[in-house]
Amino acid sequence: MSPCRACPTPYKPHNQVSKIDGEPLSDPTMYRNIVDALQYLTFTRPDLSYPVNSVLSAYDSPTNAHFHLVKRILRYVQGTLDYGISFTGGSCDLTAYSDEDWQETSIQRDQLLDL
């Protein structure tokens, strides 16, 4: 899919596909391999988390409609190859905050834990 037209968004709003929409794929192996690779890509591309999780719902029995959604995600990735989280070397400043009043409000804490 390298010579594909890039897509501006990975997922259309309100584009829900049920498990029965479309014809079942004859060989879902390629679908599963692509979805597995996309799931791995979400570690550095959080913008792909929702669309990839939505196509994961059809992992066991994908249809042509689900494969169409996967191809849309791939077209989005093709257009945004330079996106991602980059980790650089250098100093790392860690700031921690604590709630010092937590011990004195044990009644409220117990009420929260009972919810």
Q: 79 and 4 in contact (C-beta within 8 Å)?
A: no
* Distance between CA atoms of residues 103 and 108, nearest Å: 10
Q: From 71, 80, 69, 81, select the one nearest 12 (Cα to Cα).
A: 69
Q: What is the mean pLDDT of each run of 10 residues along the chain (115 residues)?
A: 80 72 88 95 90 90 91 92 81 76 58 53
pLDDT computed for residue 73 by the predictor: 93
pLDDT computed for residue 92 by the predictor: 76
Q: What is the DSSP letter of 5?
A: P
Q: Taking each helix axis from N to C terminus, what angle separates 49-56 and 64-79, rounded to the nearest 10 degrees?
A: 160
Both tokens assigned to 75: 């077209």
The reported pTM is: 0.70
Own/partner pairs, 2-5, CB within 8 angstroms, 24+ separation: 2/78, 4/74, 4/75, 4/78, 5/75
Both tokens assigned to 64: 């042509």
pLDDT computed for residue 105 by the predictor: 57
